[in-house]
Structure 1
Amino acid sequence: MPQKTDKKTKGIWFEIDEETNRLLTTSAKVNKRSKKQEASFRLSEHLKKFDKHFNPCT
């Protein structure tokens, strides 16, 4: 999970729909993370698993 380290980080802001917010909130609670931490982790993992064309990385 991305954590505060010596690495430089960037902040982004975007809107999500109610269903995505509900799923993110639930996932964050189950994983004992903040919603921001959960969103960062989920986005990072997704980008590692899929290429720019949404094909699974091998």
Structure 2
Amino acid sequence: MHMPEHAGEHEAVDRLYQLASQGETGSSEYLRLDRLIYGGLVRTYGRAEDDPRRPAAA
């Protein structure tokens, strides 16, 4: 059974995939969804040292 709290996350991933497959990776919707999903992955799994999105150490 699908968990209701994950329904919005699933829809966001589906929409991000749809935009990417249409070549709309520069749209504001794509960028917003990308940040949202990426942030959730970082919260869940952490961030690799060689991650290009990792801010440079000061």
TM bucket (normalised to shorter chain) is 0.3 to 0.5
Structure (1/2) with the larger helix percentage: 2
Radius of gyration: which is bigger?
2
Which of the pair has the greater relative contact order for Cα pairs under 8 Å at 6+ separation? 1
> How high is the TM-score relative to the length of structure 2?
0.36
